[in-house]
Amino acid sequence: MKKPSYHINRLKGLPIAFLFLFMALFAWEQAFAGSMKTDWQKLSTQRTVLLFQDSKDLHKFNTKINFGTDIQTTNANLTHTIIQKVDDLFERSRELLEMHGFVNKIMVKIFKDKQQLDQAYRKQYQKQGSARAWYSHDNLTVYVQLNDLHEGMLAHEFAHAVIDHYLIVPPPGRTAEILARYVDNNLHKQNFPDTENAHAQGYSAQ
């Protein structure tokens, strides 16, 4: 009897190899999907809805955003303090831009770390990204992560939201970025030039 060739034996093993490969890919996909599944908790303010994962994240968010209130934070007044800080920060962004009349609430999605933030970026845009934070006009959401966050960064993203909704035609990306950086850089400054008679300071003034 003629023995089966070596090549035929190799072919017989291929279906088993493909089965193991498929099982490994399926397990990886399930693990990745599981890491993206999050039970979000909500805290509503006048201007925003904060989405966070647990109370520890809320405490850490409070320590990262130092703006507006001088009240010493306790467990009893934590949510009140955060609400005041976030709304004051949003109003400050509008004030610096001189763009008022905003009516929509902005979602602020707070991730624990850069890994979670990058996963959210890949899921939303179907590509790799290195953004430290961003604002999505499509779903009115600011995305941030707790290991790299400060009040200037959040005000910067609020500025993008205000600009996009105030102007009938959104400005070019670079123009919007310049305006948002202006908010970030001047957030804590108290004195600004009087703009009441700004027209008299232009090149055409006589």
In a domain, 205, yes or no: no
Segment 92-116 mean pLDDT:
94
Report the distance separating Cα 49 and Cα 109, nearest Å.
8
- Whether the pLDDT of residue 77 is over 60: the answer is yes
- Which is more confidently placed, 181 or 8? 181
In a domain, 200, yes or no: no
In a domain, 8, yes or no: no
In a domain, 78, yes or no: yes
CATH number at residue 49: 3.40.390
- Whether the pLDDT of residue 34 is over 60: the answer is no
Number of residues that make up the chain: 206
73 pLDDT tier (thresholds 50, 70, 90): low
Q: What is the pLDDT of residue 76?
A: 77
Report the distance separating Cα 44 and Cα 98, nearest Å.
25
Segment 8-24 mean pLDDT:
53
Residue partners of 181: CB distance under 8 A and separation at least 6 = 156
In a domain, 120, yes or no: yes
In this structure, what token pair is assigned to residue 65? 């955003």
Helices and strands (DSSP H and E) totals, the chain: 6, 5
Report the distance separating Cα 196 and Cα 74, nearest Å.
41
Task: State the first-to-last Cα distance of the chain, in angstroms, to the nearest integer.
Answer: 110
Mean pLDDT, the chain, rounded, equals: 82
In a domain, 125, yes or no: yes
Report the distance separating Cα 69 and Cα 59, nearest Å.
15
Q: Are 98 and 193 in contact (CB under 8 A)?
A: no
In a domain, 206, yes or no: no
- The pLDDT tens digits for 106-155 are 999 999 999 999 999 999 999 999 999 999 999 999 999 999 999 999 99
In this structure, what token pair is assigned to residue 193? 């030039």
In a domain, 128, yes or no: yes
Count of structural domains within the chain: 1
The residue type at 15: P
Quote the domain boundaries for residue 51. Answer: 41-186
Report the distance separating Cα 162 and Cα 96, nearest Å.
11
In this structure, what token pair is assigned to residue 94? 């509008």
